[in-house]
């Protein structure tokens, strides 16, 4: 094992526990930076990848794309300096030349590379990425706080901005997990009236603490009384088995359901309630570099923080088991040392 060896945890096959795994990284080129990782959040996308829910996983698979650490090496073209504390999310590079990249939508670039899909990710002591996708963390955010913002925070902040959600609008957040509990906070501080839609009755008190004005228990609620009440719904749940028709009917006319949760199975949806009410359904994928920078600044300004549970990386399998059971409140962050 050389001094450059990177040590982490990998799934060696679908739906297995992670085991210790080491690899030799490629040499740094152009804009690359090497980061000594201090913290890495566990996103449900990591679990989808471990289980090959989306049919795209390759093993060994080192998950992890909510990374915070310090730069220990920079290549010649990088603007970063050694010692800077930076974060990396789902995306580790893009061509930065295509129409999408030039218009500031690098997350839609056809040549984008993911941090832990097709590359070894952040459940490790170090990582090398294109430094143009490493973001300096505002000083007021602790590393454990910043880590979940890099994916979960960006993914919910971006559509609220892109779809022009305004103060005073009624925003529903469906699924109160890692993404959802941050979505409540962002929408609250954007001046919206927020409703949390959850299948877990015990999340009511905390949802209200995060800034939700109302709480709807999806397990026993008749959504009919909420008909035509919401301007914007953000679905962060990965369940394909929602009452989509009743949820769509809670939207006002011209309202939008934006889906960021990534179910592995198709959803069963009649288009009737889109036509009726002139509603829209959209998807959204992570966030652009501008979104990430704005989101970090917005979080620092309003003291928006994920509720985290910090666990040493040696206990990564306990953490993943808890995530599988929907028992995490609300993000586990792995500590590397
Ligand atoms: P999470 O922390 O596990 O939270 C997901 C929430 O969904 C749960 O807390 C739960 O909320 C609800 N849920 C409903 N059915 C569930 C089930 N069968 N198992 C577990 N939870 C269930 O996950 P997350 O990290 O927030 O990620 C949520 C989804 O977003 C995942 O599918 C992930 O892959 C996706 N994602 C997408 C993007 C993107 O760019 N579009 C980025 C990041 C993540 P209640 O208890 O309140 O019902
Ligand atoms: Zn993620």
Phi, psi (degrees; rounded to nearest 5) at 262:
-120, 80
Using a CB cutoff of 5 Å, list residues around ligand 2, an ion: 43, 45, 151
140-172, pLDDT tens digit by residue?
Answer: 999 999 999 999 999 999 999 999 999 999 999
d(CA 121, CA 66): 9
Residue 174 has pLDDT above 90, yes or no: yes
Furthest CA-CA distance within the chain = 64
Residue 210 has pLDDT above 80, yes or no: yes
pLDDT of amino acid 236: 98
Ligand nearest to the CA of residue 179, numbered in listed order: 1
Neighbouring C-beta atoms of residue 337, cutoff 10 Å: 9
Residue 228 host element (H or E): none
Residue 3 has pLDDT above 80, yes or no: no
Task: Let me know how many helices (H) and strands (E) the chain has, helices first.
Answer: 10, 17
Q: Note whether 207 and 198 are within 8 A (CB).
A: yes
245-298, pLDDT tens digit by residue?
Answer: 999 999 999 999 999 999 999 988 888 889 999 999 999 999 999 999 999 999
Neighbouring C-beta atoms of residue 262, cutoff 10 Å: 16
Residue 89 host element (H or E): none
Q: Note whether 112 and 94 are within 8 A (CB).
A: yes
Phi, psi (degrees; rounded to nearest 5) at 21:
-150, 135
Q: What percent of the chain has pLDDT over 70?
A: 99
CA atoms within 13 A on the CB side of 28: 21
Q: What percent of the chain has pLDDT over 90?
A: 94
Confidence band, pLDDT 50/70/90 cuts, at residue 1: low
What's the CA-to-centroid distance between 152 and ligand 1, angstroms?
10
d(CA 293, CA 299): 10
Q: In the predicted model, what is the mean pLDDT of residues 301-315? A: 98
Surface-to-core class of residue 207, CB atoms within 10 Å of its CB (0-12 exposed, 13-18 middle, 19+ buried) = buried
* Ligand 1 atom 31 nearest Cα: 261
pLDDT of amino acid 105: 98
pTM above threshold 0.85: yes
User: Which of 236, 284, 287 is the best mutation target for the ligand 1 pocket, counting ligand atoms within 8 Å of the beta carbon and taking the most?
Assistant: 236
Phi, psi (degrees; rounded to nearest 5) at 74:
-125, 145
List all residues whose CB is within 6 A of at least one atom of ligand 1: 43-45, 48, 151-152, 155, 175-180, 198-200, 203, 236-239, 260-262, 284-286, 323, 326, 328
9-35, pLDDT tens digit by residue?
Answer: 999 999 999 999 999 999 999 999 999
Residue 84 has pLDDT above 90, yes or no: yes
Beta bridge partners of 39: 68, 335
228-260, pLDDT tens digit by residue?
Answer: 999 999 999 999 999 999 999 999 999 999 999
State the average pLDDT for the chain.
97
């Amino acid at each position: 094992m050389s001094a450059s060896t990177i040590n982490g945890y990998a799934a060696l096959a679908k739906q297995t526990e992670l085991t210790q795994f080491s690899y030799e990284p490629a040499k740094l080129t152009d804009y690359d930076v090497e980061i000594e990782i201090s913290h890495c959040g566990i996103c449900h996308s990591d679990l989808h990848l471990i289980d090959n829910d989306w049919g795209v996983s390759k093993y060994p698979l080192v998950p992890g794309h909510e990374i915070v650490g310090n730069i220990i090496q920079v290549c010649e073209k990088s603007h970063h300096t050694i010692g800077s504390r930076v974060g990396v999310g789902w995306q580790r590079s893009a061509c930065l030349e295509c129409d999408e990249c030039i218009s500031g939508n690098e997350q839609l670039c056809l040549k984008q590379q993911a941090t832990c899909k097709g590359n070894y990710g952040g459940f490790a002591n170090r990582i090398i990425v294109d430094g143009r996708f490493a973001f300096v963390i505002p000083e007021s955010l602790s590393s454990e706080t910043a880590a979940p913002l890099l994916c979960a925070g960006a993914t919910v902040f971006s559509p609220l901005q892109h779809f022009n959600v305004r103060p005073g609008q009624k925003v529903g957040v469906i699924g109160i997990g890692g993404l959802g509990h941050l979505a409540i906070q962002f929408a609250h501080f954007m001046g919206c009236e927020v409703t949390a839609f959850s299948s877990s009755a015990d999340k009511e008190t905390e949802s209200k603490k995060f800034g939700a004005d109302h709480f709807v228990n999806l397990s026993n609620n008749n959504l009919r009384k909420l008909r035509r009440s919401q301007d914007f719904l953000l679905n962060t749940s990965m369940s394909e088995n929602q009452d989509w028709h009743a949820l769509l009917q809670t939207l006002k006319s011209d309202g939008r359901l934006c889906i960021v949760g990534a179910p592995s199975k198709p959803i069963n949806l009649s288009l009737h309630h889109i036509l009726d009410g002139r509603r829209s359904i959209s998807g959204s994928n992570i966030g652009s570099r501008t979104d990430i920078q704005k989101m970090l600044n917005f979080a620092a300004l309003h003291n928006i923080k994920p509720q985290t549970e910090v666990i040493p990386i040696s206990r990564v399998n306990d953490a993943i088991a808890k995530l599988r059971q929907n028992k995490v409140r609300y993000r586990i962050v792995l500590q590397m040392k």
